[in-house]
Structure 1
Amino acid sequence: MTTPETLWTRSAADLLSATSSRQPTPGGGSVAALSGAFGAGLVSMAARISVHKAQKTGETPEPALTTALDALEEVQGRLQRLADEDVAVFRAYVDATRLPKATDEEKASRRAALDRAGEAARAAPLGAAQACVEALEQAQACLEHVHPEVVSDVGAGAALLRGALEAALLTLDINLRHLEGEELTRLQPRRQELAARGELLAAGVLRGTREAIGAGA
């Protein structure tokens, strides 16, 4: 059985080269998920170091940190899958556009394939946006409990997650352009909710990070 292609076995240099090339993948959606996974990773690192430091001194780690680590691991795994999914979705859409359309039957089959590809192309960035917001929630929960030496990493992670969220939502937006009816009515409020929630969380974490750094100066 063929192993599914994944971005995660490619070198950083290769990914950067591919992103900068004329090739359409990895594009905005997959790079958003990649960036979000690294943002979540920075928050995880800060929590993990803080737990380790507490254990070394015989203290009980803050429960918020251990809870966050479990949640961030799940979110990060989801973002990893979504990065690959976004690439696969784009290729499925391109394949659908190349289907024959000479007969009514072929036209109907092509339209069904395009509809499926379009639905998947909206689901992937929406899922990435949701995951970024969840990671930002964990960054907020961690911030006041992490060791002072790694508080900047929580803020850095939140900054990456905010950018990843914006990128995912822009990818969603371009895939909503020609959508009408019930699905658009369903997706738009969710999109706005994620944007507002993510911005509020990111701004709060970044503000708290700066305050924590200033207090320790």
Structure 2
Amino acid sequence: MGNPKGGMMNDGYMDVLRSIASSKPTPGGGSVAALSLAHAHSLSLMVARLTLAKEKWVDGHNAAETSIEISEPGLEESILLAISDSEAFESVMSAYRLPKVTEIEKKQRSEEIRNATIGAALAPLNTALSAQKLLSNLEKQSTSCNPNALTDLASASEMALSAAKIASLNVRINLEYIDGEDVDLLTSQIDTAVSESIKSANNVTLIVNQRLEW
């Protein structure tokens, strides 16, 4: 099948989607969460630049500049998080393939599995925490951005919230297999990240609806 028409849907973009669609376990949901976050950052940047483009939106310039400061590095970080998530999962699989003949090997294997599983939970947790930070800023950005881009900002909010929720699924499924105080801490962190993300996203929706008189 050829590429869809349109320069933005180039081979690189389609290759990522085809890689996700393959029968391989990675990239999976955790990487998709990070890619959703990348799209949210991209939309936030677009809204910020559309706001800075005209003096008539000067009241939103400070918030727009802050958004650029957050989302320029946030966009790059999101791609790294997507890669990190896939690598973390592969580390778990490698740990499970370790030999388990002797008691020493069994102990070492169990330790490696636990460490790798914690790593596999940390990758999506970082995505959720980054999404929470972005949503908090989108809340501020929504009050004064270019009104012609309000639905784009709302879309950024929805994408960031999806990133947090999807990431939480991947954190929780990894923590299912291990226990300990560090697991309790990670569980608390992901619960807080998601609940705070939901609050911010709901506030963005409320502000956008009010400004658009919906």
Q: TM-score, normalised by structure 2?
A: 0.88
| Cα distance, 1:61–1:39 mapped onto 2, change above 3 Å | closer
Aligned equivalents of 1:59, 1:34: Cα separation in 2: 31
CA 1:199/1:61 → structure 2, altered by over 3 Å: closer, same or farther?
closer
**What SS does the corresponding residue of 1:87 show, helix, strand or coil?**
helix
Which amino acid in 1 is paired with 2:94? D
- Cα distance, 1:10 vs structure 2: 6.9
Q: What is the deviation of 1:33?
A: 0.3
Alignment of 1:62-101 (within 5 A): 62-101=61-100
Deviations along 1:142-193, whole A, 9 cap, x unmatched? 1111111111111000011111111000111101112222112212221221
CA contact (8 A) 2:139 2:203 kept: yes
Q: Residues 164 and 197 of structure 2 are in contact (CA less than 8 Å); yes or no, is this contact kept in structure 1? A: yes
Equivalent-residue separation in structure 2 for 1:58 and 1:82 (angstroms): 34
Contact 1:140/1:205, CA 8 A, preserved across alignment: yes
Shift of 1:18: 2.0
C-alpha distance after superposition, 1:97-130 (max 9, x if no partner): 1111112232232222212211110100110000
**CA–CA distance in 2 between the matches of 1:142 and 1:162?**
16
Which residue in 2 is equivalent to 1:49? Answer: 50
Q: Which residue in the other structure is 1:112 paired with?
A: 111
| Alignment size in residue pairs | 205
Q: CA deviation at 1:21?
A: 2.2
Find the aligned partners of 2:78 and 2:198 in 1 and give their Cα distance.
19
Q: Which residue of 1 aligns with 2:5?
A: none
More off after superposition, 131-140 vs 109-118:
109-118
- 2:162 matched residue in structure 1: 163
Structure 1: how far apart are the matches of 2:59 and 2:199?
31
1:25 equivalent in alignment to 2:26: yes
Q: Aligned equivalents of 2:108 and 2:188: distance in 1?
A: 31
Structure 1 residue runs of 5 or longer lacking an equivalent are 1-8
Unaligned runs of 5+ in 2: 1-9
Moved runs in structure 1, 4+ residues, more than 4 A?
57-61
Distance 1:10 1:90 in 2: 26
Counterpart of 1:47, as a letter, is A
Label 1:106 to 1:10 Cα distance change in 2 as closer, same or farther (>3 A): farther
Q: TM-score, normalised by structure 1?
A: 0.87
- Identity percentage of aligned residues: 28
